[in-house]
Every structure is written in structure tokens, then in C-alpha cells.
């Protein structure tokens, strides 16, 4: 018999620290598969966030830099400007990208920086214990919205792909998910496309990934996937939001 699936080469042997059923794990594996298949090992430079994704440098066998919370797009901008031939990828959560890092994300997108953001949207601040994020949906219970998010007090969930789509600097924005097999396959394709956009210097690319956080959603892993399908993806529609010619 032939081995048809085994661990990607650019994923180190380390065991993931993520909780059972966490979407970060699947996203990490997909990135490593794409690095292998596109032969990007010597070309890619990853920027790690503050958040549950902060240890990606322990997993990817490629060059990685840690950024301060929210500053991924600014750090990636700096790297890309001095090393324009490298593929520069910033990995960020929703608190990181869309709360503390709003300014950096927005203006890097507006400048059309030739970088790629992998944006893991799990609707909460995962690492710090499940506080409300800008992406928390209305009525969602978190530690800081104990009766559910109320728009009069806490505003509305932010759809980052749609927000950035109006900026002329953005070239590829797609929302995908990792809660079921077909969605996982589509996520991998979106990562490939985003990297191709950066290689073709079309501008700022971002893949937003709806990602279960069973621990902070207080669900078991399968319930969390069902919640992505039934509830979260209604607020954050899955699909291509913007693409300019590549």
C-alpha cells in the first residue's frame, strides 16, 4: 500500500499546544501543506501574533518573527520592504487584527502592501480566556458580555473582509472556514491563491478563516463546528469578497 497522507515536511515534529478541536491546528497544518506543495520553504517569512497562534514558530520549519500584539501588518510591511523577493505572511487572530491592530491592518491594506494576512476569526480573545472581540456576534455570551453582546453598548460585529474591500490597495480577500472537510479543502485553495497574488505583486491579500474555539465557546468540538455552520457563517458569509486580476 502507498502512503497517501502524512505529516507535511515543513511542520516540525512538535505537538500542537492548541485545545482539542481548535481551528488554529487545522490552519497551521494547511499552511505547512501549502509551503510544501508550492516549495516555499526558503522563500516564506511568517509573522506570529500575540494570541493562541503565537507559537507558530515552534511548528513551521521556516523563518518566523514574533510581533507585538496587533502589529503583524506593520512588521510584515517592514520585512517585505527590505526583502521584496520573500513571501511575507502575517498570522493573526481577530482581537489582534481587528481590535488592537486596527490601524496597522487598515493602513497596510490601504497602502496596498504586497503582504498576505492569514486571519483566524474565532469570535473571541482566545488566549486570554474568551473576552469579547470586535467579531463577537450579537447575543454571543463571552466573559465580558455575560448576557450576550448588545449593540447599544458594544457595537456590531465587524466584517473585516468587507471593510477592507473598499480600499483600492486590496487585491484578494476571501472568507473561508475549517469546520468541515469541504471547507478545509476550500481554505487550502484560498491560501494558495493569496500567495499567488503576493507573488504577482497585486497588492494586499487576506484570507479570513472562521475557526472554532470550543474552549471559550463552552462547546465540545463537534458542537463548535456546528455553530460555525449554523450561526457564525450567517454573520460572516463564506466566499470570495474581492479579487482583482492576478
Partner 1 sequence: MVTQATKGYIEIDQERCKGCSFCIEYCPKKAIFLTDKLNLKGYFVATYKEGNGCTGCAICAIVCPEVAIEVYRGGTA
Angstrom distance (rounded) from CA 69 to CA 49: 6
Angstrom distance (rounded) from CA 51 to CA 192: 24
Binder of partner 1 out of 26, 35, 124, 191 (CB under 8 A): 26
Binder of partner 1 out of 9, 83, 156, 180 (CB under 8 A): 180
**Contacts with ligand SF4 in 158-217 (CB under 6 A)?**
213-216
Binding mask 53-92 for ligand TPP (x = CB under 6 A): x--------------xx-----------------------
Angstrom distance (rounded) from CA 97 to CA 101: 5
**Least distance to ligand SF4 from the beta carbon of 22, Å?**
3
Q: How is residue 177 written as a grid cell?
A: 472556514
Q: How is residue 161 written as a grid cell?
A: 473582509
What are the E-state strand segments in 36-139? 44-48, 63-66, 87-93, 116-121, 124-125, 131-132
DSSP-based three-state secondary structure for 130: coil
Who contacts 117 (Cβ-Cβ below 8 Å, separation ≥6)?
A: 72, 73, 76, 89, 90, 91, 92, 97, 105, 204, 205, 206, 207
Binding mask 88-127 for ligand TPP (x = CB under 6 A): -----xxxx-----------------------x-x-xxxx
Residue 184 binding partner per list ligand SF4, partner 1, ligand TPP, none, with a CB distance cut-off of 5 to 8 Å that depends on partner kind: partner 1
Binder of partner 1 out of 4, 82, 85, 230 (CB under 8 A): 4
Residues lying near ligand TPP in the complex (CB under 6 A) are found at 50-53, 68-69, 93-96, 120, 122, 124-128, 133
Residues lying near partner 1 in the complex (CB under 8 A) are found at 1-8, 11, 15-16, 18-23, 25-26, 29, 180-181, 184-185, 220-222, 225
Amino acid at each position: 500500500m502507498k502512503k497517501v497522507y502524512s505529516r507535511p515536511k515543513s511542520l516540525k515534529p512538535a505537538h500542537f499546544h492548541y485545545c482539542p478541536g481548535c481551528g488554529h491546528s487545522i490552519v497551521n497544518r494547511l499552511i505547512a501543506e501549502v509551503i510544501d506543495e508550492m516549495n516555499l520553504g526558503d522563500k516564506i517569512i511568517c509573522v506570529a501574533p500575540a494570541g493562541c497562534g503565537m507559537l507558530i514558530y515552534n511548528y513551521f520549519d521556516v523563518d518566523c518573527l514574533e510581533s507585538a500584539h496587533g502589529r503583524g501588518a506593520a512588521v510584515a510591511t517592514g520585512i517585505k520592504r527590505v526583502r521584496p523577493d520573500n513571501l511575507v505572511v502575517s498570522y493573526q487572530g481577530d482581537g489582534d487584527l481587528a481590535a488592537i491592530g486596527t490601524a496597522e491592518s487598515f493602513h497596510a491594506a490601504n497602502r496596498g502592501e504586497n503582504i498576505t494576512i492569514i486571519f483566524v476569526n474565532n469570535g473571541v480573545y482566545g488566549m486570554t480566556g474568551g473576552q469579547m472581540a470586535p467579531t463577537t456576534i450579537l447575543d454571543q455570551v463571552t466573559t465580558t458580555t455575560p448576557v450576550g453582546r448588545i449593540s447599544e453598548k458594544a457595537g456590531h460585529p465587524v466584517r473585516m473582509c468587507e471593510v477592507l474591500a473598499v480600499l483600492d490597495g486590496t487585491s484578494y480577500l476571501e472568507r473561508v472556514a475549517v469546520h468541515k472537510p469541504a471547507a478545509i479543502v476550500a481554505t487550502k485553495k484560498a491560501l494558495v491563491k493569496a500567495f499567488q497574488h503576493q507573488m504577482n505583486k497585486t497588492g494586499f491579500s487576506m484570507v479570513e478563516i472562521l475557526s472554532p474555539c470550543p474552549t471559550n465557546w463552552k462547546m465540545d468540538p463537534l458542537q463548535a463546528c456546528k455553530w460555525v455552520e449554523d450561526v457564525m457563517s450567517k454573520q460572516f458569509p463564506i466566499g470570495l469578497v474581492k479579487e482583482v486580476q492576478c
